[in-house]
């Protein structure tokens, strides 16, 4: 078979076109041209960023998370001394309890505050006086009053309470500071019933002051 000059020229033209296409493909915007080995095989282009590293918690070459040890749980951090101290009683709170004696008289908490252990004890006649005072208040002022407590100190005493139906908070003090105090957590509607209740509270003040002052004097003389 004889190859004509025309066929040779056509072959050279096709070869030149293929070389031109390869040169165009070799530019970066067209990607990377595969390198042909002497065996006619091609090698995959290498990533310039280096080998891929499996992310934390995943195995190399897989997207499945690496399982944790079966039957184990994360360790709990131990309680710090600061957290433990917050749960414990502070020295101030402990000293308050050490200097107080609480008795329940006529359903009212009576707290005696004194550094002397003997002064924190109420005699039977003192308990009777306080019980009668509470009964007098219920009979003369209000039967629905709730008492927060009677606090007795060496030279003074305070009785706190509230009348829930009216939203009133009241306080009587005797000893160093005699007085009657009235408050409300919100606006207090003043009507005839409220005015009458306030008047009864105020009227009871002298009885409270005189009774408690006598009790304080007797306790000091003991």
User: For the residues of 78-120, what is the DSSP string, one character each?
Assistant: PPPHHHHHHHSPPHHHHHHHHTEEEEEETTEEEEEE-SSGGGG
* 140 within domain boundaries: yes
pLDDT reading at 116 higher than 80? yes
Q: Is the pTM of this model over 0.85?
A: no
Residue range 148-158: mean pLDDT, rounded: 95
Structural domains in the chain (count) = 1
Q: How far apart are CA 98 and CA 2, in angstroms?
A: 125
Using one digit for the tens of pLDDT, what is the confidence trace for 65-89?
Answer: 544 444 445 554 444 333 333 344 3
pLDDT reading at 16 higher than 80? no
Residue with tokens 């360790």: 75
Q: How far apart are CA 220 and CA 222, in angstroms?
A: 6
1 or 127, higher pLDDT:
127
* 114 within domain boundaries: yes
Report the range of poorest mean pLDDT among 32-46, 90-104, 119-133: 32-46
Residue with tokens 């009979």: 139
Domain span holding position 194: 109-221
Using one digit for the tens of pLDDT, what is the confidence trace for 137-150?
Answer: 999 999 999 999 99
pLDDT reading at 130 higher than 90? yes
In terms of C-beta density within 10 A (0-12 exposed, 13-18 middle, 19 or more buried), how is residue 99 classed? middle
| Mean pLDDT over the full length of the chain | 74
Using one digit for the tens of pLDDT, what is the confidence trace for 28-60?
Answer: 554 444 544 444 455 555 555 554 444 444 444
State which of 28-32, 155-159, 164-168 shows the largest mean pLDDT. Answer: 155-159
* Confidence tier at 101 by pLDDT (50, 70, 90): confident
* 187 within domain boundaries: yes
Q: pLDDT value at position 58?
A: 43
Q: pLDDT value at position 220?
A: 86
Helix (H, G, I), strand (E, B) or coil at 130: helix
Q: pLDDT value at position 49?
A: 53
Residue range 20-28: mean pLDDT, rounded: 68
Q: How far apart are CA 126 and CA 218, in angstroms?
A: 9
* Confidence tier at 189 by pLDDT (50, 70, 90): confident
* 201 within domain boundaries: yes
């Amino acid at each position: 078979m004889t190859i004509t000059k025309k066929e040779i020229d056509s072959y050279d033209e096709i070869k030149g076109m293929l070389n031109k296409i390869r040169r165009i493909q070799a530019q970066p915007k067209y990607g990377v041209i595969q390198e042909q080995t002497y065996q006619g095989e091609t090698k995959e282009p290498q990533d310039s960023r280096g080998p891929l590293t499996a992310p934390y918690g995943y195995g190399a070459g897989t997207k499945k998370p690496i399982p944790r040890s079966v039957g184990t749980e994360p360790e709990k951090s131990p309680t710090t001394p600061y957290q433990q101290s917050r749960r414990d009683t502070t020295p101030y709170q402990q000293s308050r309890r050490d200097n107080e004696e609480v008795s329940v008289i006529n359903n009212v908490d009576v707290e005696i505050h004194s550094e002397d252990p003997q002064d924190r004890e109420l005699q039977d006649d003192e308990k009777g006086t306080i019980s009668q005072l509470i009964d007098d208040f219920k009979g003369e002022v209000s039967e629905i009053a709730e008492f927060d407590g009677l606090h007795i100190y060496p030279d003074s005493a305070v009785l706190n309470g509230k009348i829930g139906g009216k939203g009133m908070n009241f306080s009587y003090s005797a000893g160093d500071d005699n007085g009657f105090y009235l408050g409300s957590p919100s606006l207090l509607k003043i009507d005839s019933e409220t005015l009458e209740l306030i008047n009864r509270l105020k009227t009871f003040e002298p009885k409270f002051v005189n009774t408690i002052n006598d009790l304080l004097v007797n306790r000091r003389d003991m």
